[in-house]
Chain A
Amino acid sequence: MDRRRFLTALGCSAAAHPLITPVAMAQGPWDNRLVVIILRGGMDGIDAFRPVGDPNFARYRPKLNSKGALDLDGYWSLHPSLAPLFPLWQAGEMGFVPAVSTPYRGKRSHFEGQDLLEAGGPLPIGADPDGWLNRMIQTVPGLSADIAYSVGDTPARTLDGKAPVSQWSPGVHVGLNPHSSRLLGMIYENDPMFHAAAQDAIEMASVARADVGTSEEIDEAMQSEDMMGMMGGSVPKGNHVEVAKFAAARLLGPTRIASFSLSGWDTHGNQDFAIKRPLKSLAETILTLRAGLGPIWEKTGVLCMTEFGRTARQNGTQGTDHGTGGAMLYAGGALRGGRVGGPFPGLAEANLYDRRDIMPMADIRAHAAWVMHGLFGLGTSDLERNVFPGLDLGDNPELVL
């Protein structure tokens, strides 16, 4: 970025901005869409999707077996706070893989677990921590930055890396007049980091303005009868909804990949209460994407991944501690929902990992890889060599329709 372009970016109006002028947008080679949601804190997979058909379940979790769960198939039932997604399960637009994990084992640290999940594998010491979605984008030459969006306050590290991607967060305002902008441009000129950050901030503020029109259409879609029925009659609100609306708006345009995170899953105590809010936010996020995407939902896959699952038994404080295997929820018209997308080892103590956690039956990265293979036609060798180096893809779990 040379100084001239920076100064122009700082001072220019939204309409003239290169990033949001329609002709400047390069189309990606793909038509399908992928949304990756990182659930930070370790979602308790067997609370979201309860294996009530296993007699150990009620025994292990006397306080985490609240009424109102919806029967899915006689063995599994859906947590009451995910009830808004039940119609999607019925329509074959939502499913889950019950026992997956990254290769992370042992210390059960959130921070190490999330790093590994977002990097897509163990990081070589001293390597630049890039994310697996970014490496995937790098395998396809010539894509423009708006092919992928990292959305929300916490940048999606799945998209960190060499390939240019875009970022947005709700409520970014810079509030500079043209004179201040010009002067600021001068003092940032010799500091590449500040220079780039300020330029991105200004672009982001103008993108947000330009999307107001699309956002109104999404608001209308969210008030449709269908949507109101699932949401129990109220329009969802909050930061996560803004993030999902924005992601949908971009995915209606040239963007093909969006990634963001939802937090609040670290339910060590009083989980019966504590998990309600994050589950509700997750359901609202998915329904907002669905409403916002309209017909494009048919071409979309949403993967919800967490750093690890939690202990099979409830702990002393009516919550659960950090575990190993967990569930991956997936949704979207392009994926094969309405079914359990992988094996479950059961809860018998001998089948637990370390006699305490859900035993992972597959590598969650392989599922993500096969979904990218199915949605974007990426070759398996690229996936095993470049996107998830060293991963053995195994058999295709056929999550993509």
Chain B
Amino acid sequence: MAMFDPNLAVTRFGYGFSPRVSAPASLSEIKVLLAGPDTMAQQYPIARYDDATPASEHFPLQQAVRRAEEGSQQRANRKRRLDAWVENAHEERRTYMVQHYLRLIRTQDALRERLVAFWTDHFSISIRHGHFRYLQMPLVEQAIRPHVTGRFVDMLKAVTLNPEMLDYLGQGRSYGPNSEIGRSDNVGLNENLARELLELHTLGVGGAYSQTDVRQLAELLTGLLYRRAWGFKYEWRAAEPGSETVLGKTYSGRDGWADIQQVLDDLAAHPTTALHIARKLVVHFVSSDPDQGLVENLAAVFRDTGGNLLAVTTAMLDDPRSWVPERTKIRPPQEFVAAGLRALNVSERDLRAMTMRDYNRTLLSPARRMGQQFMQPSGPDGFSEDAAHWLTPQFMAARIRWAMSMPERLKSRLPDPRSFVNTTLGGLASEDIYFVASAAQNRAEGVGLVLASPAFQRR
């Protein structure tokens, strides 16, 4: 039976080989790193959501500008303050971008970064408007990252109750139809968060829940309000009175906030959730056609440990079925370009000198053309796990273009393509790649061909 192989380890469970960071030599090395401290978060910090430039400042500043008289001095002053806020938020976001890529280039504990990407996608939030777009990375830093080796239920609560999720899935304006506000303002429910909680975040669409459960959960969640002007709060006057029954369990509704915590606890502990999460992990890391035995093993560990994600991830590493030699998955675009930066070992100085425009031109826009917009999936179901999806002709064209043209813009002196084959592909290099690397007309062509190769793009 197949077992640990460093070539599989760096691609399937990491961001690829690096000329700077040594690849894990054993399974236990990966596990020790993952169980240990999150050194990248310390070394390249990104503000937590609560510590980032507060989202709640943006909207009042905008409002103040609108209220001031057109052409007045007051308006000009307020506009300056708003512009300063936006400029500061942009700069913060650029700094997060630098830190993000530095982590991916420098880390030894690459599985942790892959887990952060996996869980960010599991709880997809795609917001294109307003101040939230500056806060997506701080949200991940606070609500996702600390929990990837912690408990699932803690992550579920941290993300579900974050203002961004409440806003994204319409919960921030959902009212119990019979609540005080619901009756007086003739407003009602929005089912979206309740539905996605069941369908995507916990049980999965195959789970045994019905439209009635969606509706009851939506009623139970009422009271969680969000406004741009004042942020998040629990508001009794918006909560649907009476009890609700979700998946056969009745919640009294007498203590709305405690009931919401309780239903999230119950959803996280539901046996179908264990199966759904286990399956998603295997589909993401190992194969889109998952081995049922492997899935059931991880689900059992999830259930036995109360959703301890370190234990579940470790079980995946320990299971020989995770080490099938065939690499049938394709690196999605963000991972592909990040692996490229890691293989090229782009310097900290160069990354810090890049403007947001440079990031857009060299990394974000190309990845968008490959089908993946940075932290903006097209819906709450996240990005595709299907290899064929990422290799449509138009996405393929964008991959080839990036590989052939961007390395020389990201690094002033490209390596000799022949040594680049070794440092980038390790034991995955085949004879034809050595041949084309030596037949390349120049360094950019040789390096590009290595990055465009199936050996580099598969995992």
Contact = CB atoms under 8 A, between A and B. Distances in A.
B371 interface: yes
A172 B445 contact: no
A188 B433 CA distance: 10
B210 A106 contact: yes
Interface in B429-459: 430, 432-433, 435-436, 439-441, 445, 448-449, 452-455, 457
Nearest to B174: A316
Interface string B8-44: 0000000000000000000000000000000000000
Nearest to A110: B379
A263 B175 CA distance: 27
Contacts of A180: 404, 445, 448-449
B25 to A, nearest CB: 28
A190 B432 contact: yes
Contacts of A179: 441, 445
Interface in B117-154: none
A384 interface: no
Given A167-B392, A167-B393, A180-B448, A109 B191 contact: no
A198 B401 contact: no
Contacts of A321: 189-192
A75 B177 CA distance: 30
B170 interface: yes
A107 B454 CA distance: 39
A321 B170 CA distance: 11
A316 B188 contact: yes
B195 interface: yes
Nearest to B175: A316
A226 B81 CA distance: 49
Interface string A181-202: 0011011111101100110111
Contacts of A266: 379
B391 A107 contact: no
A184 B400 contact: yes
Contacts of B199: 107, 109
Contact of A200 (B195, B209, B393): B393
Given A108-B211, A203-B393, A315-B191, A188 B436 contact: no
Given A173-B397, A316-B174, A321-B191, A189 B449 contact: no
B61 interface: no
B396 A201 contact: yes
A313 B191 CA distance: 13
B405 interface: yes
Nearest to B171: A317
Contact of A198 (B195, B400, B405): B400
B91 to A, nearest CB: 31
A31 interface: no
A373 interface: no
Contacts of B392: 155, 167, 169, 197, 200
B211 A317 contact: no
Interface in B335-388: 369, 371, 378-379, 381, 387-388
A171 B177 CA distance: 48
A313 B190 CA distance: 11
Which of B214, B393, B457 is most buried by chain A, counting CB atoms within 10 A of its CB? B393
Which of B199, B396, B435, B455 is most buried by chain A, counting CB atoms within 10 A of its CB? B396
A269 B400 CA distance: 40
B182 interface: yes
Given A172-B393, A183-B439, A268-B170, A322 B449 contact: no
A319 interface: yes
A315 B394 contact: no
Contacts of A268: 169-170, 190, 192
Nearest to A196: B391
B205 interface: yes
B173 interface: yes
Given A269-B190, A354-B211, A198 B396 contact: yes
Given A176-B400, A193-B391, A263-B378, A112 B205 contact: yes
Interface string A259-303: 000010010110000000000000000000000000000000000
A189 B214 CA distance: 50
A201 B393 contact: yes
Main secondary structure of the interface of B (DSSP, over half): helix
Nearest to A106: B211
Interface in A185-237: 186-191, 193-194, 197-198, 200-205
Contacts of B210: 106-107
Contact of A153 (B186, B187, B211, B371): B371
A111 interface: yes
A348 interface: no
Interface in A312-341: 313, 315-317, 319, 321-322
Interface string B181-202: 0100011111110010001000
A197 B453 contact: no
Nearest to B194: A321
Interface string B206-221: 0001110010000000
A141 interface: no
Nearest to A315: B190
A197 B396 contact: yes
A197 B393 contact: yes
A13 B187 CA distance: 62
A255 to B, nearest CB: 17
Nearest to B439: A183
A315 B190 CA distance: 6
Contact of A172 (B169, B170, B394, B405): B394
Which of A111, A176, A315 is most buried by chain B, counting CB atoms within 10 A of its CB? A315
A174 interface: yes
Contacts of B396: 194, 197-198, 200-201
B449 A187 contact: yes
Contacts of A315: 174, 188-191
Contacts of A313: 188
A394 interface: no
Which of A176, A201, A204 is most buried by chain B, counting CB atoms within 10 A of its CB? A201
A55 to B, nearest CB: 18
Please provide the 10 A-B residue pairs with the shortest distance between their CB atoms, ordered closest to farther: A200-B393, A316-B188, A201-B397, A169-B394, A197-B396, A191-B454, A201-B393, A197-B391, A183-B436, A317-B173
Interface of B: 169-170, 173-175, 177, 182, 186-192, 195, 199, 205, 209-211, 214, 369, 371, 378-379, 381, 387-388, 391-394, 396-397, 400-401, 404-405, 430, 432-433, 435-436, 439-441, 445, 448-449, 452-455, 457
28 contacts: A41-B379, A106-B210, A107-B209, A109-B199, A155-B392, A169-B392, A171-B394, A174-B397, A175-B405, A180-B445, A183-B445, A183-B449, A184-B400, A184-B452, A190-B430, A190-B432, A197-B392, A201-B393, A204-B394, A205-B397, A263-B378, A268-B192, A315-B174, A315-B191, A316-B174, A319-B190, A322-B195, A354-B211
